[in-house]
Structure 1
Amino acid sequence: MDPDDLEELAGELQGKTIGGWGLVQLAAGAGFAAYVVWAAVLMPGFRRVPLRLQVPYVPSSAKQVENVMTLLKGRSGKMVDLGSGNGKIVLEAYKRGFSPAIGYELNPWLLRLSNYRAWRAGCYGKVFYQQQDLWKVNLCDCYNVSVFLAPSVLPQLEMKLLAELPDEARVVSGRFPLPTWMSTTIVGEGLNRTWAYDIKSVRQTGQNKPKGSSE
């Protein structure tokens, strides 16, 4: 089964309740069994990251990718995806004119999958996937950032983004909003909902200041 088909199946199952008979039917299918094995291999890979900063891999849907691109429409320059997973967002960003387009991902299996996607799309060597801890990446020259991360790590991420990104940067967060920032624009519904944040606006309104700060 092709990785795209496996991920589409996973996306369809997200948020759905499946009865006992349905589970039996799924488990009996070779395709679903292949997905279970595939996911079991891909989901580890965070051994070097502290437990509180680990983020499980969930494949992005076509609609989620499209919503990210909608919120970055009309922009240009460097685009990075923090925790790039299957590489879909980075690849689509490159196709829409962002350069360089870079994905940061620790899991080597996901990096191989991302490079396979790029090769199949004729973009190998034009998009970049790096095996690097997103918490150690310097974002000072990044103007377009996408994140699909777990709520537990978003407070720490806000501090990193605010400390490193230039005023002109826009951050797009999928599935979950950044906890203390006020979004500029929102698109989509449910699991596909996506939020955009402009760093200059965040700084001007004093969002994410430490408690007790008078500055």
Structure 2
Amino acid sequence: MSAIEQIDGYSTKKDVKLSNTGIILVGITGGVAVALSIISAPFISPALRKICLPYVPATSSQIQNIFIALKGRTGNLIDLGSGDGRIVLEAAKHKFVSHGVELNPWLVIYSKIDAIRKGYRKETRFFKKDLWKFDLSPYENVVIFGVEQMMAELERKIKIECKGGTNVIACRFPLPNIIPTKIIGSGIDTVWVYEVNSNKH
């Protein structure tokens, strides 16, 4: 074997090693990209819907105002767009049977794990569902952190589904046509409290 053949042979092996490394790197990069897409899609997809309801965690002041509004109330509570479950878990601490409905599967999983970790698995339930297709009739208390564009449609849903005496707490934006019984807090932490009449307004 000549020196040139040896060099060529070495060069060929090196090229094969580089090709294999490249394939592995492309595979890893592609796998990471797919994983990131799967994880981030539920957070990005709300922006693509007709009404965007982004995940924005409630502040401690907002939570405090909600439970001022719920003082003296009992029964079942539903948090529409429950996010990381903090309102539902706080409601469980206040002796409510509390449920959350959330479209983002990762937030639903997180909420369920957090409920188990904090000892509220039996008092809470989290549903991975579209809030517009979720029946509100079993609940005496409804909490919503909405956006302005959805409040009129939500008001129609409340009028149709909620029974008389249901307590509705709207956070960040009010319902457009129902007069609130109370307004608690100010600025971004404001909550509007409504009581559904038996005549459905």
CA 181–201 in structure 1, closer or farther in 2 if over 3 Å, else same? farther
Alpha carbons 2:167, 2:194 under 8 Å: kept: yes
Task: Verify: 1:43 aligned to 2:43, yes or no.
Answer: yes
CA 181–200 in structure 1, closer or farther in 2 if over 3 Å, else same? same
Supply the distance in 2 between the matched residues of 1:42 and 1:121 (Cα, whole angstroms): 25
The Cα of 1:124 is off from its aligned counterpart by: 2.3
Question: 2:138 corresponds to which letter in structure 1?
Answer: D
The Cα of 1:202 is off from its aligned counterpart by: 8.2
Alpha carbons 1:52, 1:153 under 8 Å: kept: no
Identity %: 37
The Cα of 1:53 is off from its aligned counterpart by: 2.6
Choose which of 90, 93, 105 in structure 1 pairs with 2:91: 93
Choose which of 80, 85, 89 in structure 1 pairs with 2:78: 80
Supply the distance in 2 between the matched residues of 1:117 and 1:97 (Cα, whole angstroms): 17
Choose which of 107, 110, 113 in structure 2 pairs with 1:116: 113
The Cα of 1:117 is off from its aligned counterpart by: 2.1
Alpha carbons 1:143, 1:170 under 8 Å: kept: yes
The Cα of 1:121 is off from its aligned counterpart by: 1.3
Supply the distance in 1 between the matched residues of 2:119 and 2:173 (Cα, whole angstroms): 32
The Cα of 1:136 is off from its aligned counterpart by: 0.6
CA 201–126 in structure 1, closer or farther in 2 if over 3 Å, else same? closer
Task: Verify: 1:187 aligned to 2:188, yes or no.
Answer: no
CA 126–201 in structure 1, closer or farther in 2 if over 3 Å, else same? closer
Worse-superposed segment, 135-144 or 112-121: 112-121
Q: Deviations over 1:85-109 (max 9, x none)?
A: 110111111111112x100001011
CA 45–94 in structure 1, closer or farther in 2 if over 3 Å, else same? farther
Supply the distance in 2 between the matched residues of 1:202 and 1:177 (Cα, whole angstroms): 21
The total of aligned residue pairs comes to 164
The Cα of 1:79 is off from its aligned counterpart by: 0.4
Choose which of 55, 72, 80 in structure 1 pairs with 2:53: 55
Q: Deviations over 1:58-107 (max 9, x none)?
A: 111111111111101111111000110110111111111112x1000010
Gaps in structure 1 of 5+ consecutive residues: 1-38, 207-215
Aligned to 1:15: none
Task: Verify: 1:165 aligned to 2:162, yes or no.
Answer: yes
Task: Verify: 1:198 aligned to 2:198, yes or no.
Answer: no
Supply the distance in 2 between the matched residues of 1:141 and 1:117 (Cα, whole angstroms): 24
Supply the distance in 2 between the matched residues of 1:124 and 1:201 (Cα, whole angstroms): 33
The Cα of 1:116 is off from its aligned counterpart by: 2.7
Supply the distance in 2 between the matched residues of 1:66 and 1:173 (Cα, whole angstroms): 14
Gaps in structure 2 of 5+ consecutive residues: 1-38
Aligned to 2:149: 152
The DSSP-based 3-state class of the residue aligned with 1:64 is helix
Aligned to 1:28: none
The Cα of 1:45 is off from its aligned counterpart by: 4.6
Runs of 4+ off more than 4 Å: 39-42
Aligned to 1:67: 65
